[in-house]
């Protein structure tokens, strides 16, 4: 079973703490990837969402799903160092149960449609085998150089 640790993920994704939301890739092939996010109480969003009852925001669960999808997209192209995967759309997002500190979020994303510069992927996020969120995300592959603002 192929896996990627956090160091290998950081070689693929440009995200860094506190916005790198994938701790490990548990499995992948050409059309499917499974990632893991350890949810910890010391993450910055829990200072305000919500201090008395910490709940991981749905938008961050969706971002974690998009990051897992982005890893698969970037792993399959030869010139990934010069590319950036941007979130283009989110469809059919559903949040079924709160995600709280101590949870291990298992994210499984599957390719629905893939073209040269666009990938549509459908997936779920689960805790202890129970689906807590699902969504379809579309990622757009862009040149990094085109995204750097002029100085």
Give catalytic residues, as residue numbers: 49
Phi-psi region of 128 (alpha: psi -120 to 50; beta: other; left: phi over 0): left
Q: Measuring CA to CA, which residue among 43, 5, 38 is closest to residue 24?
A: 5
Residues 6 or more apart whose Cβ sits within 8 Å of residue 145: 82
Read off φ and ψ for residue 22, nearest 5 degrees: -130, 120
d(CA 103, CA 32): 23
């Amino acid at each position: 079973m192929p896996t990627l640790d956090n160091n290998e993920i950081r070689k693929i994704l440009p995200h860094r703490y506190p916005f790198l939301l994938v701790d490990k890739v548990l499995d992948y092939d050409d059309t499917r990837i499974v990632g893991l996010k350890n949810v910890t109480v010391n993450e910055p969003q829990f200072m305000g969402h919500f201090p008395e009852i910490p709940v991981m925001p749905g938008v961050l669960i969706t971002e974690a799903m998009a990051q897992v999808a982005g890893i698969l997209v970037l792993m399959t192209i030869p010139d990934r160092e010069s590319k950036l995967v941007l979130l283009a759309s989110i469809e059919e997002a559903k949040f079924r149960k709160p995600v709280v500190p101590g949870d291990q979020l298992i994210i499984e994303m599957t390719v629905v449609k893939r073209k040269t510069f666009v990938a549509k992927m459908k997936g779920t996020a689960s805790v202890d085998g129970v689906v807590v969120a699902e969504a379809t995300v579309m990622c757009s592959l862009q040149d990094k150089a085109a995204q750097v603002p002029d100085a």
